[in-house]
């Protein structure tokens, strides 16, 4: 696949190494073994300061302090547990179901004596999802999830913005679904909660991460449901999925590896800004293009794909989408249409802060009053 990437994508990659530290800020290796440690978290912050101060301008100081502050979470209700009881308990904590609240308030009111026209199909959210959050400015925490009376966990704690790509995918009953980069499993679990998956393929190249995904499924989804939904967990190279199972899926989620901006500022473990991972970091946009291209090739004509990252970088977001669309047009004669998510953004703007100037797709930016994200997502339709 790498050999096929056109000039437009290569140009993008030339710009991708925004993570390089200026010469004056580097420290040289010393002869002594007492070389000072330079934490990956600090290197990440330096790189973000350089790149994002340009990309976001006056918004960056607010985003920066939010990224460095405690993250907010949402509680995704497990529909395979006693969901009404769980929802009532979450409401007693003064949390609210942001999904159904937004959908209810977003429904157009019919004019007097008329029936409201149904919204366009592209506006449809994936159904049956309940996710509770605390109001803007409320920094309360949810208690840890516990095992319920039906033998599965009551709810799953996640960054509530991570649910948006699943909602945007617009699953319909009977869909054949692929989650191409599925671990650690929150979005896969959400896909199953919709009740729409006739078949669900959940893939992650890392066998250890796929193991974490299996643990989530076993903790939250009964065995008979996993069997009935024909859930298949694999550890294949996602870049080759279009060759393995082309033109098969109704809906594909491509939640790619990225710089995981918030994690990179708080955790040394598995931090992509470790010096030993510099080459891997530089190659991320190429990998992301390959994965998105494979996801689109696996989709039926007329099917939908959502691309998502938890990075603020337009090099990993809009540029990857545009580069992949160019690649498929040039190399495969496949036309891909980016769907407008303006209505979707308006539905959820009471819960999340959105960046107003994305070229394509939508970006949730961290904000102290609503400290979710970052989460970028873009919905596409494979036309041919």
Under 8 Å between Cβ of 316 and 259: yes
The neighbour count for residue 158, using CB atoms within 10 Å, is 20
Under 8 Å between Cβ of 238 and 203: yes
Closest by CA position to 384, among listed 299, 288, 326:
299
Would the annotation count 182 as a binding residue?
yes
Measured CA to CA, the distance from residue 161 to residue 351 in angstroms comes to 9
**Is 378 designated active site?**
no
Q: Which residues pair with 309 in a beta bridge?
A: 376
Would the annotation count 237 as a binding residue?
yes
Query: Could you give the dihedral angle defined by the CA atoms of residues 89, 94, 100 and 102, in that order, rounded to the nearest 10 degrees?
Result: -170
Per annotation, catalytic residue among 196, 258, 310, 378: 310
Would the annotation count 121 as a binding residue?
no
Contacts of 142 (CB under 8 A, 6+ apart): 73, 75, 90, 93, 95, 132, 155, 157
Q: What are the angstrom distances between the C-alpha of 105 and each of 102, 108, 255, 341? A: 5, 8, 29, 17
Would the annotation count 186 as a binding residue?
yes
- Pairing between β-strand 375-382 and β-strand 362-364 as defined by DSSP bridges: antiparallel
Provide φ and ψ at 291, rounded to 5°: -70, -45
Would the annotation count 204 as a binding residue?
yes
Would the annotation count 183 as a binding residue?
yes
* Burial class (CB within 10 angstroms; exposed 0-12, middle 13-18, buried 19+) of 373: buried
| Residues tagged in the binding site annotation | 181-187, 204, 237, 255
| Residues tagged in the binding site annotation for S-adenosyl-L-methionine | 181-187, 204, 237, 255
Catalogue the active-site residues.
Answer: 310
């Amino acid at each position: 696949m790498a050999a096929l990437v056109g000039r437009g994508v290569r140009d993008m990659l030339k710009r991708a190494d925004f993570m390089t530290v200026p010469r004056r800020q580097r420290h040289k290796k010393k002869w002594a073994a007492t070389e000072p440690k330079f934490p990956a978290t600090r290197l990440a912050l330096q790189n973000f300061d350089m790149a994002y101060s340009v990309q976001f301008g006056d918004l960056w100081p607010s985003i920066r302090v939010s990224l460095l502050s405690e993250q907010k979470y949402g509680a995704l209700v497990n529909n395979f547990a006693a969901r009404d009881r769980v929802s009532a308990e979450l409401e007693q904590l003064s949390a609210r179901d942001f999904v159904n609240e937004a959908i209810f308030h977003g429904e157009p009111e019919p004019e007097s004596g008329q029936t409201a026209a149904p919204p366009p199909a592209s506006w449809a959210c994936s159904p049956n999802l309940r996710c509770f959050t605390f109001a803007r400015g409320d920094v309360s925490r949810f208690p840890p999830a516990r095992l319920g009376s039906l033998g599965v966990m009551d709810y799953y704690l996640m960054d509530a913005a991570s649910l948006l790509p699943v909602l945007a995918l617009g699953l319909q009953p009977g869909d054949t679904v692929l989650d191409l980069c599925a671990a650690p499993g929150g979005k896969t679990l959400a896909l199953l909660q919709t009740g729409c998956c006739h078949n669900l393929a959940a893939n992650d190249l890392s066998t250890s991460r796929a193991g974490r995904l299996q643990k989530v499924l076993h903790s939250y989804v009964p065995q008979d449901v996993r069997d009935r939904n024909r859930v298949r967990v694999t550890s294949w190279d996602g870049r080759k999925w279009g060759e393995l199972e082309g033109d098969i899926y109704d809906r594909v989620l491509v939640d790619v590896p990225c710089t995981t901006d918030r994690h990179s500022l708080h955790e040394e473990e598995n931090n992509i800004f470790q010096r030993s991972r510099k080459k891997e970091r530089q190659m991320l946009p190429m990998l992301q293009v390959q994965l998105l291209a494979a996801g689109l090739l696996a989709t039926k004509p007329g099917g939908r794909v959502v691309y998502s990252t938890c990075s603020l970088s337009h090099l990993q977001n809009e540029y990857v989408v545009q580069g992949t669309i160019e690649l498929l047009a040039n190399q495969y004669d496949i036309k891909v249409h980016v769907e407008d998510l303006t209505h979707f953004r308006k539905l959820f703007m009471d819960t999340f802060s959105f960046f107003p100037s994305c070229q394509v797709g939508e970006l949730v930016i961290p904000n102290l009053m609503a400290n979710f994200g970052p989460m970028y997502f873009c919905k596409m339709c494979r036309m041919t």
